[in-house]
Amino acid sequence: MDNNKGIVKISQNGEIKLSKELMKKLAIKPGDNLYYNIEKDHKVTFQNPNDSWYNIIKNTSSEKVVFDQNGNYDPKKSPNFHDWMVNG
């Protein structure tokens, strides 16, 4: 196995046990939170929430934007998207 892959043990309580070495690589300590993403084929990825990309997107608001057949949208129904498109 390479240095970026390994095996972790799941306790009887369903907790994942990480080695001290892995925690050091992830820059996490006991009590910290991890961001997780479940991908296709049951693949799970974990990320330190202190990672800059996570901090950028965690507070990003979302808004449903509906486009018509011509690619137009109603700015009144999607004011945040309109502001983003106009002001960046």
**Across 54-80, average pLDDT:** 82
**By residue range, what is the domain housing residue 82?**
60-88
Q: Are residues 46 and 64 in the same domain?
A: no
pLDDT at residue number 81: 87
Q: Are residues 69 and 40 in the same domain?
A: no
Is the C-alpha dihedral spanning 62, 63, 67, 73 positive or negative? negative
Residue identified by tokens 């095996």 is 7
In this structure, is residue 55 part of a structural domain?
Answer: no
Average pLDDT in the chain = 82
Contact (CB, 8 A) for 33 and 27: no
CATH number at residue 14: 2.10.260.10
